[in-house]
Structure 1
Amino acid sequence: MSFITDPLVYYPISGILWFWHKIFAFLGGLLPWVNDPDSSGIIWALSVIFLVVTLRLMLFWPAAKQIRFSRKMQEMQPKMKELQKRYKNDREKLAVETRKLQKQEGFNPLLGCLPMFIQIPVFLGLFHVLRSFNRMGEAFGQLGMTAEETRNTGNYVFNADEVQSFLDARLFGAPLSSFISQPVEQFQAFVDPGAALDFERWNIIVVAVPLMIVSAVTTHLNARVSLSHQSPAAASNPQAKIMNQLMLWAFPIGILVTGAFWPMAILVYMVTNNLWTVGQQYFLYEKMAKEDDVAALARREEQKALAPKVGVKPVNPKKQRGQSPTGKGGASTSTAASAVATVDESVGAGTDTGESVLGDETASQSASSGDAVPKPGAAPRPGQKPSPPGGQRSRPAQKGSSKPQSKKKKKKKR
């Protein structure tokens, strides 16, 4: 596997670390209080920190995709449960409908798992490169070299002199490649051959234990932030509950237990990586929350635009088709009907002498409109009541008429 991991993982990671070490060593050389910047523990620690920053910047897009993947999974859980309930006896149909739902929602499981597959080899590669500065051990990946061979063997991009400067670096008195459980005979790699040791195990413990505690606490905080954005339905799943407890407690405790076997540079990497994750999660979750707010506001505005205005009765298109051309309530029809009724009443009105006359109001309306009274026997106009045969007949005078009789019959004398 070295023909794959060396060019794809180990050389790129060691190259990034080498680049930042050269930058900070140059800047440290400009400061008068920095002695031997090439072997300064602070400069090498800054190089490791910025190695982490560079790698996390490269993995920022996959990390954002992974968070969106988790959110999308939570949104799809109710629909997935419905499909599982509907097709519980038909696995083939369930698989087809599941793929259809994923395509409809724009969900790609492979793309969501990609960030995890990228981060695992990066972490393992960084662990291998930092541990390879001291190859005196006989564990997996180590060569069991002597102290002299270790100090004179390159480490991927680093040559022998640069390996020696890393082994001579001290972070608050502890070598960056040392770890708490490291055998004493391997300490000889951190000094020149035959020279006395300038540190003891307690120096390593004093520096490593605080880094282990900070790394465990930040791991717990990252898990708590991630789980706080988990939906109640997903959190109620029994398998999810077990995984949540592992993330909250088992992983941080595991760091405290296994931290004694990690080189100091790896602990620096862990602290930096966890602090970056805290800030990255806060940024991404806030950004996605704002996107959700904007989308919800857009949906409300759309619904508000489609809803009827306050005080306006919704218009039914079907009823609107049957309205008259004049528009409101058939005003022209009612006007014509009232006019015809007026004519009918005026035609039917008479005097006590049997003569048919038009009323004063009807005569004035007829004179103004230029219409004449229809003759007896003439065809009625549209909308007019037909006149009775034999012409118009006068009505007998009614009591209380405004016109008294012109003549009265005299009683005959007997």
Structure 2
Amino acid sequence: MQALARPLGMLLKFIYDLINNYGLSIIVFTIVVKLILVPLTLKQMKSMKELQEIQPKIKEIQEKYKNDKEKLNVKTMELYQEHKISPFGGCLPMLIQLPILFGLFAVLRDPGLYVFGSQEVYESINTSFLWLPNLTDADKLILPLIAGLTTFLTSATTPSANKGDQTQKMMMYFFPVMIFWWGRSFPAGLTLYWVVSNSFQVVQQLVLARPKAKTKEGV
């Protein structure tokens, strides 16, 4: 984690030196990181869309061979090969991003160590932002509430291979509540990162979905 946290901390420090506002630096830092991850995100979305398109055929195979697990697996893999789709295509970009996310969390949970070089230097800067007196402390209501809402919007706008799955539906409502609860104890700077990251992703999903909507309307 430290191998990724160090360069990410240097990036945040570079942005802070330019802006000289810790809250705005976190926002710009988040946008920069999300832009770097756009190729992986696009690949993940493409894979999920492809899996979603063949989902009816997968259900047909599951129904036809529900009593023959071996045949079911063979036919399912044949379908993936026919459409040149990897069943793990949507997971791989996510797995690649996980270490980066862990590194980001480490940076924003301990900026004194990873960004400013010492806790004393970090405590000497102005870490207030908007209504927040200190981004080091947790915001108990407003920011966690926005984090939970944007988490729900992210889930609602993200393509899924199986939108009818009950587990996914449950997680779409449960995960935002969990984020809200965690946000009440996380440093506000970390919760701010989560809000900006979610907002960026929602806008990205809406922009990418727009050409599809126009095509349907014949524009």
Shorter-normalised TM-score: what interval? 0.7 to 0.9
Match of 2:85, SS state, is coil
Structure 1 position 293, deviation (Å): 4.9
In structure 2, the partner of 1:167 is: 123
CA distance, structure 2, for counterparts of residue 24 and residue 82 of structure 1 = 56
Over 3 Å counting, the alpha-carbon distance change for 1:59 and 1:44 in structure 2 is same
Say if 2:170 is the partner of 1:215.
no
Q: Partner letter of residue 272 of structure 1?
A: V
The DSSP-based 3-state class of the residue aligned with 1:174 is coil
Task: State the TM-score, normalized to the length of structure 1.
Answer: 0.47
Contact between 1:63 and 1:115, CA under 8 Å: does it hold in 2? yes
**Matching residue within 101, 120, 134 for 2:98:** 120
Instruction: Report which stretch shifted further, 65-74 or 274-283.
Output: 65-74
Which residue of structure 2 lines up, in the alignment, with residue 80 of structure 1? 58
Look up the match of 1:260. Answer: 184
- What corresponds to 1:55 in structure 2? 33
* Structure 2: gaps spanning 5 or more residues: none
User: 2:39 corresponds to which letter in structure 1?
Assistant: W
C-alpha contact (below 8 Å) 1:167/1:176 kept by paired residues = no
Q: CA deviation at 1:177?
A: 1.9
Counterpart secondary structure, 2:48: helix
Question: 1:40 — aligned with what?
Answer: none
* SS of equivalent residue, structure 1 residue 56: helix
Shift of 1:174: 2.3
The letter of the residue matching 2:48 is S
User: Structure 2: how far apart are the matches of 1:52 and 1:252?
Assistant: 20
Within 5 Å, give how 1:142-153 maps onto structure 2: none
Determine if the alignment matches structure 1 residue 243 to structure 2 residue 202. Answer: no
Q: CA deviation at 1:47?
A: 1.5
Contact kept in structure 2, 1:167 and 1:175, CA below 8 Å: no
CA distance in 2, matches of 1:279, 1:167: 34
Verify the 8 A CA contact 1:133 1:177 in the aligned structure 2. no
Higher relative contact order (CA 8 A, sep 6+): 2
Tell which structure's C-alpha radius of gyration is larger: 1
For residue 16 of structure 2, the aligned residue among 18, 21, 26 is 21
Length, aligned pairs only: 216
Alignment check: 8 A CA contact 2:127 2:133 kept: yes
Give 1:44's aligned residue: 22
CA contact (8 A) 2:136 2:187 kept: yes
The answer to whether the Cα contact below 8 Å between 2:145 and 2:180 also exists between their aligned partners in 1 is: yes
The Cα shift of 1:165 comes to 3.8
Which residue in the other structure is 1:12 paired with? Answer: 7
- Deviations 1:339-389, CA, capped at 9 Å, x for gaps: xxxxxxxxxxxxxxxxxxxxxxxxxxxxxxxxxxxxxxxxxxxxxxxxxxx
Matched-pair contact (CA < 8 Å) for 1:102–1:108: yes
Q: Which amino acid aligns with 1:24?
A: I
Give the secondary structure class of the aligned counterpart of 2:175: helix
1:215–1:270 CA contact under 8 A, matched in 2: yes
Q: Offset of 1:264 from its aligned partner?
A: 1.3
Q: Give, as a single letter, the amino acid of the residue that structure 2 aligns with 1:6.
A: Q
State the distance in 2 between where 1:262 and 1:118 align: 24
| Residue of 202, 210, 215 corresponding to 1:278 | 202
The question of whether the paired residues in 2 share the 8 Å contact of 1:133 and 1:167 is answered with no
Give the deviation of 1:88 after TM superposition: 3.4
Residue type of the alignment partner of 1:223: S
Alpha-carbon separation, structure 2, partners of 1:80 and 1:170: 52
Match in the other structure for 2:137: 178
- Are the structure 2 counterparts of residues 76 and 246 from structure 1 closer, same or farther at C-alpha, using a change threshold of 3 Å? same
Give the distance between the partners of 2:88 and 2:56, measured in 1 at CA.
21
Secondary structure of the residue aligned to 2:136 is coil
1:314-353 maps to which residues of 2 (within 5 A)?
none
> CA deviation digits over 1:179-229, x for unaligned, max 9?
2xxxxxxxxxxxxxxxxxxxxxxxxx5xx5221121122222222333xx6
Q: d(CA) in 2 for partners of 1:65 and 1:244? A: 23
Structure 1 unaligned runs (5+)? 26-42, 135-154, 180-204, 298-414
| Shift in CA distance, 288/103, structure 1 to aligned 2, threshold 3 Å | farther
More helix by percentage: 2
Q: 1:81, CA displacement in angstroms?
A: 2.1
> 1:79-130 CA distances to partner (integer Å, 9 max, x unpaired)?
1122223333443333332222112212123331123213332222222122
CA distance in 1 between counterparts of 2:114 and 2:190 reads 18
Q: What's the CA shift for 1:288?
A: 4.1
